Amino acid sequence: MEPHERTFPISAGILFGLGLGGFFDGIVLHQVLQWHHMLSSWYPVSTVENLELNTFWDGIFHSSTYLFVVAGLFILWRHAHRRHLYWSSRLFVGTMLIGFGVFNCVEGLIDHQMLGIHHVNETVPESSRIYWDIGFLIWGAAMIVGGGLLVRAGKKEERAQQTVARWKS
């Protein structure tokens, strides 16, 4: 890479998005709305012991999503110190949307569908839970598509800026 080329660290945005997706799930769905906890399909929160177990695993879950954000911050910081960072709102928001969407799709497929450890909304009748789970997956896929479109536009913008910088030098 030539010294005057500026780039945006895509992996940083994706890691931020993964972490923020986990924070949204853990804070909004687990704590505020109390629709589910990490293991609430396996251990319903109908006893103090099960609530304690779910709260512990919610904490483990929050800790892992926190690590995604720390890793994203580390990559962003390191990249910014090595070369002039190309600051692009499209790339930043686009990569965060991709990360958030990947979180939803992976978590939705593994935890909701394959393992069945919890569902998006366990306060509704069991027969309706699949609709909430499908909506969660659709929301994740939409974020991936929207984020991808923003990243494509941001990359085009980044290439144009690099071309202008080459002409000036």
Find tokens 């853990």 and name the residue.
26
Q: Could you report the per-residue pLDDT of 128-143, keeping only the tens digit for each?
A: 999 999 999 999 999 9
Lowest mean pLDDT among 44-58, 79-93, 141-155: 79-93
Across the range 69-98, mean pLDDT stands at 88
- Split at pLDDT 50, 70, 90, the class of 156 is very high
One DSSP character per residue, 62-116 reads HHHHHHHHHHHHHHHHHHHHHS-B---HHHHHHHHHHHHHHHHHHHIIIIIIIS-
Residue 164: the pLDDT is 78
Structure tokens at 17: 């998005």
Residue 86: the pLDDT is 73
φ and ψ at residue 7, rounded to 5 degrees: -130, 165
Per-residue b or e along 23-50, where b marks 16 or more CB atoms closer than 10 Å to that residue's CB: bebbeebbeeeebbbbbbbebebeeeeb
- Split at pLDDT 50, 70, 90, the class of 5 is low
Residue 83: the pLDDT is 66
Find tokens 């879950």 and name the residue.
61
